[in-house]
Structure 1
Amino acid sequence: MRRRKLLLSCVLISCARYSCAVEFNSEFLNIDDNDGVSLEKFARAQYAEPGSYLLDIMVNQRYFGTRSIEFRSSDDGQSSYACLPEELVAMFGLKAELLKTLPRLAGGQCMDVRAIDGATVRYEQNLGRLSISLPQASLEYDDPSYMPPAAWSNGLDGALLDYRVIANHRQSTASSASGDSTLLQSYGTAGLNIDAWRVRADYQAQQESGGQDNTFNDQGFQLNRLYAYRALPSIRSKLSVGEDYLNSDIFDTFALRGVSLSSDDRMLPPNLRGYAPLISGLARTNATVTVSQQGRVLYSTTVTPGAFSIQDLSSSVQGTLDVTVREEDGTEQAFTVTTAAVPFLSREGELRYKVSAGQPRLTGSGGIEPNFIASEFAYGLPRDVTMYGGMLAAQDYLSSAVGIGKDLGAFGALSADVTNSRAKLRWNDKTRVGNSYRLNYSKRFDAIDTDLRFLGYRFSDRTFTNFSQFVGDPESYSLNSSKQRYSVMLAKHFSWLSASLSYDHSTYWDVPSTDRFGLSLARSFSVGKLKNVNVNLSAFQTKNSQNNDSQILLSVSIPLSSSSIMSSNVQHSSSSSSSTSVGYSHDYGDGLSYQLYGGIGDNKYANAYVAKRGSIYRANASVTTDGNTYRSFTAEVDSSLVATRHGVSAHGNGSNGDTRLLVSTDGVPDVAFGGQTRSDARGYAVMDGLPSFQAYEARVNMEKLPLDIDVSNPVQRLALTEGAIGYVNFTTGRGRNAYVALTQANGRAVPFGASVQDKQTSKEVGIVGEEGVVYLLGAKVGAELVARWGNAGSCTLAELPEEASMTNVARPLPCR
């Protein structure tokens, strides 16, 4: 008898899952009381009782949020359909003309996507999911990272604080006269989100004491930016108000106080977005790398000895960047990197623009702050041609530019422009007129696996005056007079070698030129039992008015296991002696790693480095000594705080005020996600470093999920506007299976074929068999379960007994 009951339950569950549409004869079931049979749900394929259901929306197997979906009866009453409102269908990314022609149902309240050839809509009741399949030909862009503006979310209202603290203490030995020094630095961003508005304040603070003369230097606290901005998806633009920086593809960057409105490349289709700048170099010790622009710190972090590469700067960062590498022994190397976007390209008929107005913000003395207005545009013409230009005007100053860009298809993209300036200099009343010429090119050669990321050339007349020169200190006017500048970045991957080359060159009319050359070669191979041996050669040469230094590094790493590596480095610098080191590193795989190395340079030296990446912080520390000259200790801690209506959550920093995602696991702690992110004791976690205006998939790490925890929607897909604090809920519970027999208040068994569902989510967890017997799958602890049958029959299950999942005998359970 028990075997027959279980068999009947399994057959019904299978029919529900695979939508068997049949005409049932209850006599065939050989059930004594046919009045206790409810088979309506199996008689009609894909039929759902009219009403509202909380469902996960899946389109082409991509998550589009959880929302209440109303099911309505068809006109003949023999079937039902999901009512999809227009604002939901607009999120799917259909072609605009197709979206307009879709049939409307229920007086225009519902859109019928089933009218699209090849489209299907399926209600998967056992998963609490509405699965929609759309042919690729119906979509505007066939790109997994693209979501239309209608699908972008502004996230939650809340506040945030991202901070990074770096401390270094250097102690000189008795034989050295350089003295002890302590340096404490902090960088970060505080922010406030209100609907679509973002308020941000970037700060930097530094305190240094000691030195050869035992001096004390406190550089204090400084706000670099205080501004508010918001996305305008309807015109794919960004509005910014306050103290910010001019974001321009034509004119030089400068700090401003005012308002800016510009189209945002990140809102464009993926193939029209720009590149993020790449910064690479060499460090002799555990050094602190700081990237700044006009005194504003954009990025700062500690790096281990050897070659480093910084690739996570925002693609909106443009212009000349100042890079400082401070070693643990106190020495510094400095160089500049020129960045630029892809040459102006717009699709035919598309207008891209930027408009700013306000006053320049000066950090030094001797300058002026006149009102100004700046604008630029790019418009797509036929035959892949783009016309662009711009204007920057203030009292006694006018600069205008005009240019043309061409998509060369297989040969890349090319643009050329000329900028004219007319400035009446206030210190001598002379009017200076000059031109600046520029040529840009970029191309990714997929066929030969080569990436020429950017090649740019600019030449300026001696009489050309940029706006920073016009408003700045007269004494530095000629020092900032640029003559020519060009940069190249080339990367090539062979089957046996990876190579990259970069070169930046700037010359001025009255000061020495600046050059930065970089070359990297990498090879991976196997020798006998040694697998994946890596050999890297990096060379850099920096020449400017401050230093002239050449560096070369040869490194070899040999994996000893999947988590341990032995390495050796040989490094030479023209400003110091050569050094050789041998090291060992180990990664425990849970965010904890360490490195030990020692070598010979000016003196024998040794270093110990440890790093920990946790869910709510990132930290590292190192100790270095050469025995004769100094001992140095460096530590770094990065973290963030996010405050919303869901409380305060901490997470590892890395966003600098940018987009992040707050996730809820329904109060279940220690649910693992990507990296070291885990839900805290309240059941919340924060993922940072999310792209803006692009599809992002938040995933539960199912391999680390305990057996008693069930997540019904382990993958969620969404797109957030810039700076948003997104929010998604992972339906999580400590579930268990239970074998019970359901009895109604009148003493009769719950009808055969009734559906048992989670009342909150409408997820089906079982189908009732003969005599009210049902096997519940993944029922959450504490969840309220209901049994539903017929058109209106229902009852609520009592709390599941603790031993229900521990026996093969159906335990009696009231259903009232």
Structure 2
Amino acid sequence: MLKIRGSFWSNIKIIIISPLFVLNSYNVLAEEYIFDESLLLGSRYNSLALKKVSQVDIPSGKYQVDLFINDQFVSREILFFHEHDKETLPCINDTLWLNKVGVLSDYLEPVEFCDLGLHVRGATYNFNAQKLRLNIAVPQAYLNRKPRGYTSPETWNTGETALFTNYYGNYYHSENSQGSRDSAYVGLNSGFNYGLWRVRNHSSVRHSDLGSDFTSFRTYANRAIPKFYSELGVGQLSTRSIGFGSLAFTGIQLHTDNRMLPISQRGFAPVVRGIAQTTAKVVIKQDGKDIYTTTVAAGPFVVDDLFPTSYQGDLLVEVHEANGQVSSFIVPFSAVPGSMRSGRAQYALSLGKNRNTGNDDYFADFVYEIGLSNSLTLNSGIRVADGYQALSAGSVINTPYGALGGTAVYSHAKIDGGFYGEKLYTGWRAGLNYSRAFSSGTAITLAGYKYSTEGYRELTDVFQQRYYFDNNYGYGFSSASYLQKTEMSLNMTQQLGDAGSLSLSATKRQYRNGRGDDDSYNLSYYKQIGIVNLGLNYSRMYTSKELDGTTVAAKSYKNDVFGLSLSLPLGSGHQVISSNYTHTDKGSSNFNIGLSGTLENDPTFSYGISTSYQGGDGYESNSFSASASKRTNIANLRANYSQGHNYRQISASANGAVVLHKDGVILGQSVGETFAIIEAADAQGAKVRNNWGSELNSKGYGLMSSLVPYRSNRVVLDSGSIDDNVELLESQQVVIPSAGAVVRLKYDTRKGLPVLFSTKLATGEIVPLGAEILGDQDENIGTVGQAGLAYVRLAEQTGKLRLVWGEGRKQHCQFNYDLTGYATDVRLLRLPAVCSTIDNR
């Protein structure tokens, strides 16, 4: 037990009381003070100068002041104060206004003397001469503000050179009346990083009784272009077109990368503008909930960094003035896909060869979108290929009655029909989208309608049709968009309060040339009854099917399905019972009930068991299945077993990552597009928080499997399971990685026996609080705490420590230590130490 002497508390009292006395004296002197002029007799100061410094105002000259903008500290600056009309005014040049204060250049006015109110319209200031603090109040709308979540490109970590692969391996064994079968599959998602370039490949290896094969699905490389908030990609890519159908191709692509934007600038949200009469609090609400709060100076204000919210609900803006007055106004808010923030633009340019067919079908397309205001977004695009041209133009209009988006596309296509000769097809496709939320809780999230004339062709359909003719397949080609006449879609939700929620989705496609319609309708109901989750679902589909290689059915086939689902958590929530029931209009039924969960003391281990029944149309079958999985430091392991009528299946799988870096190889859990290599010497077993099952290996390396690019990521290590003789000098770091980066986070550690010395000087006095503890090499290894307690971690059994608390000869001392014979497995060794002063330093 540590004892604290009375003299210690006496000193503390003196320390606490002394500043109070000084502060009290300062306040008394601040009210009025008189300086005796006789003390300056014979000096170069005269009585006029003395009168100036004896007043609250200050004389002209340069002063170092703390600069505050709207009560927020900005920087410490040396400013010139100029006397004008018996008043001393601070002078701020244009450079300081623009770079430090952040005033937009459009609001700077030329002035002949220092007058903040004339230099920046509406600006006021308050100067505290005693504290040398200058606070400038500038209307918020005049400032170049950084949006919430902003990270400077200079802070983006591009990572290091690394080679890695995510693997998914599966072994499958099945037995039935036909015999047994074994197969194996390995999926690989690999990457190589060098500088800003990220090379990626997706491939697989299959093995079965029929043989083995390797398939590479996609290879590409990309790199960020931060200056233009864009990304360049080469290889096997997909188009990012608006108005045109998606197209897989091999080539090059340049496009805006919205991930580089702060999250408050992504997606769509309106810009809110208003005027505050005083310093005011602005509160923005949606659907009765506060979504934004800020304080603004008197004058116009702008809120342009709202986080993207759901496509529903007008915004209520409340302005709470300093005098208690509250004013409010409504900002309409509805959006459809394609809505963009005011002032924001994005583009995508793609050039290459189509890779869905074997023909050399080259193409190019370019699309551009821009948000002109809260209520208007425009978009346009062009797509060209040999014998094909298409143009698109559209807009999104946001109104108090909902958001309406419209797009029109014109296509001009030539198709060589072989024996039938070349044909020219021209046509239009027009589309409308609508979104609106109602106060009743009804939300139409997306209602759409598209109409295509008979000659309209998508480029993907043109390429496929040419391929069919070139290979003598005739007119057998069909797709969801080919010869489509109309397409209607609807998505609605209705909140029913405590009664649950209801959702409806529907799609209807009509075609030409006698092809039947493709329709789908889905109605769902969800309700939580106590701890039970209930779901009801009804769906109906009409699908036209190909009867042979050249004919599409004129008749659509109907399929109705009714579903019921229930889930019930057990105990502390680590286990859940769930059941599902489905019934079709063909008379078939399926019922499943199962139990799944994780171990209460080990959330990395999960399991599940289930049994099911299938029946209908004279057929019945029962089956049983069980599974178990374990998330370890180097991989995720899973095993499955299932058995039913006349069959049995067994499978085992493993997935994880192998990372090759400059110091070796790391085995770990599967990694995302952007991840971190963690290095902490001797910290084996330290766990990575928010990354279940991940910990540092025997060499002190580990992985943080996923990071969010262009945003601040906090990576925390838990030292609870590392060796007692190792200390993490830091447990968390913040990193802002670029997309696809493999960043290295190095955590400093110290290895050695933890020792708490109770130090005293040779005179019996306690070593002063805050004294530095220096090791044999004069390196700082700690600081003396209260009552002379010095905590250090010592790697050597014997040595010398030096304590320093000042520059004077008697303000440093040293002592030798010898830990020989003491147990090395103790959590903390407590020893006394007498520190002797050093005469010759």
Give the TM-score taking structure 2 as reference length: 0.64
- Distance in structure 2 (CA, Å) of the matches to 1:591 and 1:15: 52
Select 1:554's aligned residue among 552, 558, 564: 564
Residue 449 (structure 2) aligns with: 457
Q: Structure 1 residues 814 and 761, CA, compared in 2 at 3 Å: closer, same or farther?
A: closer
User: For the residues of structure 2 that align with 1:488 and 1:815, how far apart are their CA atoms?
Assistant: 85
Aligned counterpart, 2:194: 194
The 5 A counterparts of 1:378-389 are 378-389=369-380
Question: Contact 2:433/2:449 (CA < 8 Å) preserved in 1?
Answer: yes
5 Å matches for 1:111-510? 140=145, 143=148, 146-173=150-177, 180-207=180-207, 209=209, 216=210, 220-271=213-264, 273=266, 343-362=337-356, 364-365=357-358, 367-370=359-362, 372-408=363-399, 413-427=403-417, 428-441=421-434, 454-472=446-464, 473=467, 474=469, 475=474, 479-480=478-479, 481-483=482-484, 484-491=486-493, 494-510=497-513
Change (3 A) 1:567 1:348: closer
Query: Which of 621, 632, 637 is equivalent to 1:603?
Result: 621
User: How big is the shift at 1:708?
Assistant: 7.9
Q: Deviations over 1:289-311 (max 9, x none)?
A: xxxxxxxxxxxxxxxxxxxxxxx
Q: Distance in 1 between matches of 2:714 and 2:754?
A: 29
Q: Report the CA distance between 1:158 and its aligned residue.
A: 0.8
Mapped to 1, the partners of 2:14 and 2:621 lie a distance apart of 75
For residues 486 and 471 of structure 1, the distance between their equivalents in structure 2, rounded to whole angstroms, comes to 26
What SS does the aligned partner of 1:641 have?
A: strand
Displacement after TM superposition at 1:668 (Å): 0.9
Deviation at 1:603, TM superposition (A): 1.6
**Which of 635, 647, 671 pairs up with 2:686?**
671
Residues 611, 768 of structure 1: CA spacing in aligned structure 2 closer, same or farther, 3 A cutoff?
Answer: closer
d(CA) in 1 for partners of 2:707, 2:387: 44
What is the CA deviation profile of residues 704-756 of structure 1, one whole-angstrom value per residue up to 9, with x for unaligned ones? Answer: 88988765544433332221112323445678864325699x99999634533
Query: Which segments of 5 or more consecutive residues in structure 1 lack a partner in the other structure?
Result: 24-71, 76-91, 102-116, 119-135, 210-215, 276-314, 316-340, 527-531
Compare relative contact order (CA 8 Å, sep 6+) and give the higher one, 1 or 2.
Answer: 1
Kindly provide the amino acid, as one letter, of the partner of residue 380 in structure 2.
Answer: G
Counterpart contact for 1:739–1:805, Cα < 8 Å: no
Deviation at 1:592, TM superposition (A): 0.9
CA distance in 1, matches of 2:803, 2:489: 70
Q: Note the C-alpha offset of 1:20.
A: 7.9
Q: Mapping of 1:730-749 within 5 angstroms?
A: 730-731=747-748, 738-740=755-757
State the 1:698 CA deviation: 2.4
Q: Which has the larger radius of gyration?
A: 2
Q: How many residues align?
A: 628
Deviation at 1:231, TM superposition (A): 1.3
Higher deviation after alignment, 236-245 or 752-761: 752-761
Q: Within the alignment, does 1:623 sit opposite 2:641 as a pair?
A: yes
Give the superposition deviation at 1:199: 0.7
2:78, 2:817 → 1: CA distance? Answer: 37
Alpha-carbon displacement from aligned partner over 1:388-411 (angstroms, at most 9, x marks no partner): 101111232211111112344x76
| Structure 2 Cα separation of the partners of residues 763 and 549 of structure 1 | 76
In structure 2, the CA distance between the partners of 1:8 and 1:272, relative to structure 1 (3 Å rule), is same
Q: Deviations over 1:756-794 (max 9, x none)?
A: 368899988432678xx4332xx4564998744335988
CA contact 1:8–1:769 (8 Å) conserved in 2? no
Contact 1:742 1:815 in 2 (8 A): no
> In structure 2, do the counterparts of structure 1 residues 631 and 500 end up closer, same or farther at CA, with 3 Å as the change threshold?
farther
* Cα-to-partner distance string for 1:21-71 (whole Å, 9 max, x where unaligned): 999xxxxxxxxxxxxxxxxxxxxxxxxxxxxxxxxxxxxxxxxxxxxxxxx
Note closer, same or farther for the CA distance 1:404–1:753 as it changes in structure 2 (3 Å cut): same
| Residues 487 and 705 (structure 1), Cα distance of their counterparts in 2 relative to 1, 3 Å cut | farther
Aligned equivalents of 1:206, 1:94: Cα separation in 2: 63
| Distance in 2 separating the partners of 1:577 and 1:375 | 50
CA distance in 2, matches of 1:647, 1:154: 20
Q: Determine if contact 2:535/2:566 at 8 Å carries over to the other structure.
A: yes
Distance 1:453 1:812 in 2: 76
Q: 1:799 to 1:186 in 2, by over 3 A?
A: farther
Per the TM alignment, residue 596 of structure 1 is displaced from its structure 2 partner at its CA by: 1.7
Match 1:694 to one of 698, 711, 723: 711
Root-mean-square deviation over aligned CA pairs: 4.9
Which structure 2 segments of 5+ residues have no match? 23-75, 80-98, 109-124, 127-139, 269-307, 309-334, 546-556, 615-619
Does residue 628 of structure 2 align to residue 634 of structure 1? no
**Residue in structure 2 matching 1:577, options 585, 588, 608:** 588
Q: CA deviation at 1:381?
A: 1.6
The secondary structure found in structure 2 opposite 1:462 is: coil
Q: Secondary structure at the match of 2:364?
A: strand
Contact 2:444 2:493 in 1 (8 A): yes
Give distance in 2, aligned partners of 1:732 and 1:402.
60
The CA distance in 1 between the partners of 2:774 and 2:355, in whole Å, is 59
2:670 paired residue number = 653
Counterpart of 2:227 in 1: which secondary structure?
helix
Offset, 1:354: 0.8
Cα offset, 1:524, TM superposition: 2.4
Shift of the 467–271 alpha-carbon distance from structure 1 to 2, 3 Å rule, reads farther
Are the counterparts in 1 of residues 361 and 385 from structure 2 also a CA contact under 8 Å?
no
**What amino acid is aligned across from residue 534 of structure 2 in structure 1?**
V
Match of 2:771 among 755, 760, 783: 755
One of 810, 813, 816 as aligned partner of 2:832: 810
User: Corresponding residue for 2:289?
Assistant: none
* Alpha-carbon contact 1:605-1:624 (below 8 Å) kept: yes
Q: What CA distance in whole angstroms lies between the structure 1 residues aligned with 2:492 and 2:520?
A: 14
- Cα 1:641–1:501 change in 2 (3 A) is farther
Q: Distance in 1 between matches of 2:14 and 2:750?
A: 24
Contact 1:9–1:769 (CA under 8 A) maintained in structure 2? no
Give the whole-Å Cα distance in 2 for the aligned partners of 1:170 and 1:391. 52
Question: Would the aligned equivalents of 2:724 and 2:827 in 1 still touch at CA under 8 Å?
Answer: no
Q: Secondary structure at the match of 1:590?
A: strand
Does the aligned pair in 2 maintain the 1:168–1:183 contact within 8 Å?
A: yes
Deviation at residue 576 of structure 1 after TM alignment: 7.5
Alignment of 1:13-52 (within 5 A): none
Residues of 2 paired with 1:503 and 1:650: CA distance?
A: 47
- Which has the higher mean CA deviation after the structures are superposed, 707-716 or 388-397? 707-716
Residue 796 of structure 1: how far off its partner (Å):
8.9
Contact 1:272 1:345 in 2 (8 A): no
Go from structure 1 to structure 2 and tell me whether the alpha carbon gap of 1:217 and 1:716 turns closer, same or farther (over 3 Å shift). Answer: same
**1:613 corresponds to:** 631
Q: Aligned equivalents of 2:609 and 2:522: distance in 1?
A: 28
Which of 652, 656, 660 is the aligned partner of 1:643? 660
Matches of 2:6 and 2:684, distance apart in 1: 35
Q: What is the distance in 2 between the residues matched to 1:785 and 1:575?
A: 86
Q: Distance in 2 between matches of 1:541 and 1:709?
A: 64
Superposed displacement of residue 500, structure 1:
4.2
- Per the TM alignment, residue 236 of structure 1 is displaced from its structure 2 partner at its CA by 1.0
Q: Please give the per-residue CA displacement for 1:83-117, whole angstroms capped at 9, x wherever unaligned.
A: xxxxxxxxx9996959x99xxxxxxxxxxxxxxx9
**DSSP-derived class of the 1:470 partner:** helix
Task: Name the aligned partner's letter for residue 810 of structure 1.
Answer: P
